[in-house]
């Protein structure tokens, strides 16, 4: 795949005002990637009247079956997108994070601020449920979603982008958004010299369980082996386990359940009881942890990166998806209020850069603390600082 840049001068839009500076010209937008960032971008842009096409390389458009934490900033973003009721109906709300020692002693219960009246400050939600919510709402916003398709070439001539697709079709767009994850093909096309994601020496394991009544919020356990419990519904939760994985080993699928159990040897009784329930190899989700932050531009001409494609973080603060959702809202806002695509994309990066860098740097610091390769970080202190930061307006 390649990107060809011809003259890069961007033509100013001719626009009218509705009295509050909103630009009325509608764009034809290509979103590459049908995950959380791509779908929320489709919802935000479709809401503003832009024509959106989403391409997703996975022909089955599936997600793995464990869960995700959507914190207060995502709850606020869901309200901005008009999808909060769907979010709340699909997940489990809670208003605190409990921090435990490896012995099982609870050492802190951190209240998490609500940013939306009448809504919880956090939601645990299963990824399949979230995928259904976002997919249905993106389609409802008018997005054309094409599966099993990738962009083979992007030709930006300064006034538009000609995209050639893997299915042999071609089309022209005013803007292309690369929301295709930390291994972004779009990033490789527009910034071939950009750094690649770095394996940090740790991996995360996830598994679903029946939720006992006493698990009513996120439980995070400190230690060299970090783990926690996240409620997803009245009857379902998942466990995550972060483990040192020197050399980035690979595990056979037939060995995943036994391997995950083996990581939980010195644990309190409640976690030991759950450990023995890890028996389904197909139910274990294992992912080596990588991170990436682009210190340079996030766009080139009319092609811009969103979410993990520009700032992939480790999951230690639970904010990877949250940053992508916020990116989507900010891109839509900038396109609605700036006089050119170039000005909008510059404004997008200016508004997002420091916030995303804080999340990536803080998450990586927690990981290195757990591995013993960096200064000691208190999980409770880092979590509190994160909640204070994400409570700030976009």
Q: Which two tokens stand for residue 270?
A: 């409640």
Kindly state the tokens that stand for 321. Answer: 């998806």
pLDDT band at 205 (very low <50, low <70, confident <90, very high): very high
Residue 23 scores a pLDDT above 70: no
Question: Does residue 304 sit in helix, strand or coil?
Answer: strand
State what percent of residues in the chain have pLDDT above 90.
84
Mean pLDDT of 73-94: 96
Instruction: Please list the residues that pair with 208 across neighbouring strands.
Output: 238
The string of DSSP letters for 12-53 reads PPP--B-SSS-B----EEEEE--SHHHHHHHHHHHHTT-EEE
pLDDT of res. 6: 35
Q: Is the pLDDT confidence value at 13 over 70?
A: no
Q: Terminal CA-to-CA distance of the chain, rounded, Å?
A: 34
DSSP-assigned letters across all residues of 230-297 = EE-SSSEEEEEEEEE-TT-----GGGHHHHHHHT-SS--HHHHHHHTT---GGG-EEEEEEEEE--S-
Helix extents (H) in 102-167: 127-140
| Res. 160 pLDDT band, cuts 50 70 90 | very high
pLDDT at 332 over 70: yes
Write the DSSP string, 167-202.
TS-EEEESEEEE---TT-HHHHHH-TTSPPPEEEEE
Given pLDDT bands bounded at 50, 70 and 90, which one contains residue 108? confident
Helix (H, G, I), strand (E, B) or coil at 388: helix
pLDDT-based confidence at 163, cuts 50/70/90?
Answer: very high
pLDDT band with cut points at 50, 70 and 90 for residue 19: very low
Query: Do the beta carbons of residue 232 and residue 92 sit within 8 Å?
Result: yes
Residue 196's pLDDT band (boundaries 50, 70, 90)?
Answer: very high
Number of Cβ within 10 Å of residue 373's Cβ equals 12
> Is residue 392's pLDDT more than 80?
yes
Mean pLDDT in residue range 200-216: 96
Please state which CATH class domain 2-63+127-197+291-390 belongs to: alpha beta
Give the bridge partners for 52, in sequence order: 29
**What number is the average pLDDT over the span 329-341?**
96
Higher pLDDT among residues 319 and 222, named by residue: 319
What is the pLDDT averaged over residues 68-79? 96
Compute the distance between CA of residue 337 and CA of residue 22 in angstroms, rounded to an integer.
5
Please, which residues have CB within 8 angstroms of residue 240's CB and are 6 or more apart in sequence?
204, 205, 206, 227, 228, 230, 315
User: What integer best gives the mean pLDDT of the chain?
Assistant: 92
- Give, for 215, the enclosing helix (H) or strand (E): none
Residue 370: pLDDT band with limits 50, 70, 90? confident
Question: What is residue 52's predicted lDDT score, i.e. its pLDDT?
Answer: 98
Over 60: is that where the pLDDT of 385 sits?
A: yes
Of 24-28, 181-185, 195-199, 381-385, give the lowest mean pLDDT range: 24-28
pLDDT of 8: 31
pLDDT bin (cut points 50, 70, 90) of residue 226 is confident
- Would you say the C-alpha torsion 205, 208, 209, 212 has a positive or negative sign? positive
The residue-averaged pLDDT of 83-96 equals: 96
Q: What is the pLDDT of residue 225?
A: 83
Q: Nearest Cα to 180, choosing from 31, 328, 51? A: 31
Residue 4, number of CB atoms within 10 A of its CB: 12
Structure confidence at residue 349 as a pLDDT band (50, 70, 90): very high
How does strand 198-210 pair with strand 218-221?
A: unpaired
User: CA-CA distance, 92 to 179, in Å (whole number)?
Assistant: 27
pLDDT number for residue 175: 98
**Cβ within 8 Å of residue 62, ≥6 positions away:** none
């Amino acid at each position: 795949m390649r990107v060809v840049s011809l003259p890069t001068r961007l033509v100013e839009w001719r626009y009218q005002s509705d009295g509050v500076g909103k630009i009325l010209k509608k764009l034809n937008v290509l979103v590459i990637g049908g995950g959380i960032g791509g779908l929320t971008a489709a919802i935000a842009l479709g809401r503003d009247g832009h024509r959106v096409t989403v391409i997703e390389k996975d022909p089955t458009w599936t997600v793995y079956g464990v869960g995700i934490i959507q914190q207060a900033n995502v709850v606020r973003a869901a309200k901005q997108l008009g999808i909060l009721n769907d979010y709340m109906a699909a997940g489990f709300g809670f208003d605190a994070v409990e921090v435990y020692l490896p012995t099982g002693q609870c050492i802190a219960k951190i209240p998490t601020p609500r940013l939306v009246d009448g809504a919880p400050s956090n939601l645990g939600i299963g990824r399949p449920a979230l995928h259904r919510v976002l997919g249905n709402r993106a389609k409802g916003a008018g997005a054309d979603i094409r599966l099993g398709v990738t962009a083979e070439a992007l030709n930006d001539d300064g006034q538009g982008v000609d995209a050639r697709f893997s299915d042999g079709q071609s089309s022209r767009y005013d803007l292309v958004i690369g929301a295709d994850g930390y291994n972004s093909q779009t990033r490789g096309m527009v910034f071939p010299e950009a750094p690649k994601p770095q394996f940090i020496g740790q991996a995360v394991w996830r598994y679903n369980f029946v939720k006992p009544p006493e698990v009513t919020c996120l439980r995070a356990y400190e230690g060299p082996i970090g783990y926690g419990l996240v409620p997803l519904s009245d009857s379902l939760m998942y466990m995550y386990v972060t483990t040192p994985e020197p050399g980035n080993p690979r595990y056979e699928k037939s060995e995943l359940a036994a391997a995950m159990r083996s990581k939980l040897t010195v644990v309190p009784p409640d976690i030991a009881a759950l450990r023995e329930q890890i028996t389904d190899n197909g139910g274990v989700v294992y992912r080596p942890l990588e991170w990436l932050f682009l210190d340079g531009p996030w766009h080139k001409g009319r092609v811009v990166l969103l979410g993990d494609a520009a700032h992939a973080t480790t999951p230690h603060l639970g904010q990877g998806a949250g940053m992508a959702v916020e990116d989507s809202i900010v891109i839509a806002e900038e396109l609605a209020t700036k006089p050119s695509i170039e000005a909008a994309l510059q404004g997008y990066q200016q508004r997002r850069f420091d916030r995303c860098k804080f999340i990536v740097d803080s998450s990586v610091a927690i990981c290195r603390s757990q591995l013993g390769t960096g200064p000691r970080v208190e999980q409770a202190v880092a979590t509190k600082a994160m909640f204070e930061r994400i409570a700030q307006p976009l």
